[in-house]
Structure 1
């Protein structure tokens, strides 16, 4: 696959994943703003359950993005089967990058874009969680 096409392909996958994650986080923020789950009058159990559900929803968003990346790599022929594509996408998205499964030179830039996607989306998740805990701790009498 030519370099320019890899960049376009990788950027498209990145934009799709970013849009999915931005919409997910925005929906969670809107829900938190309309339903005050962390008001001081709420029980600790309710707040803990809310945080667990939020983490699961964020994890679901990341998981879907990994599958989008894997499916995209499989569709363009970078991998002959789905197992290697899912594994590669998972270790690349999380930037672990074991190196036991690698892309051929014609797909490497597209693969690197998956790691860029993971870095950006994990950064967004981290910012959301830090803000969430800042809000939770700010409303608690410490």
Structure 2
């Protein structure tokens, strides 16, 4: 891929992943509102635990799906890996910005793959902000308060 192609395709996959992240977190917010309606205004430890577990489940699901998207992009679009094992491993190491460095891509794909790291940084930031909002439901500006 040329530099322009790497930037174009990397931006496209980054955008796709962040749209997925947004959809998953909106779905989680809706699920949390239904959970809150089912259990009323009780603020016990068990309700907080269930709320946090639901939220973490959605966040982990969103990140896992994004890693699979990048793995598929590296196999199908960039054709940089022959096995899913190598593609998923590289995607996880890049997405989490861990970057072991034991797999190094050729110059035609390095910029493209670096967009996976940008995706991970943005997604982890969004997820962190979401979890902070979930753990502060008593605030009047919380996105999870009832809209009655």
* TM-score between the two structures when normalised by the length of structure 2: 0.85
User: Which residue in the other structure is 2:89 paired with?
Assistant: 87
1:26-105 to 2 correspondences below 5 Å:
26-36=26-36, 40-75=41-76, 76-105=78-107
Deviations 1:5-24, CA, capped at 9 Å, x for gaps? 11111111111101100011
* Residues 1:23 and 2:46 are matched in the alignment: no
Q: How far apart are 1:42 and its partner, in Å?
A: 4.2
User: Which residue in the other structure is 2:146 paired with?
Assistant: none
Q: Alpha carbon RMSD of aligned pairs, Å? A: 2.0
Unaligned residue ranges in structure 1 (runs of 5+): none
Of the three residues 125, 128, 134, the one matched with 2:127 is 125
Looking at secondary structure, tell me which structure has more helix per residue: 1
Q: How far apart are 1:80 and its partner, in Å?
A: 1.8
Deviates more, 1:117-126 or 1:79-88: 79-88
* TM-score between the two structures when normalised by the length of structure 1: 0.88
**Structure 1's 39 and 87: CA in aligned 2 closer, same or farther, altered over 3 A?**
same
Give the whole-Å Cα distance in 2 for the aligned partners of 1:105 and 1:39.
Answer: 56
Q: How far apart are 1:34 and its partner, in Å?
A: 4.6
Unaligned residue ranges in structure 2 (runs of 5+): 141-148
How many equivalent pairs are there? 138
Check the 8 A contact 1:88/1:102 in 2, yes or no. Answer: no
User: Which residue in the other structure is 1:109 paired with?
Assistant: 111
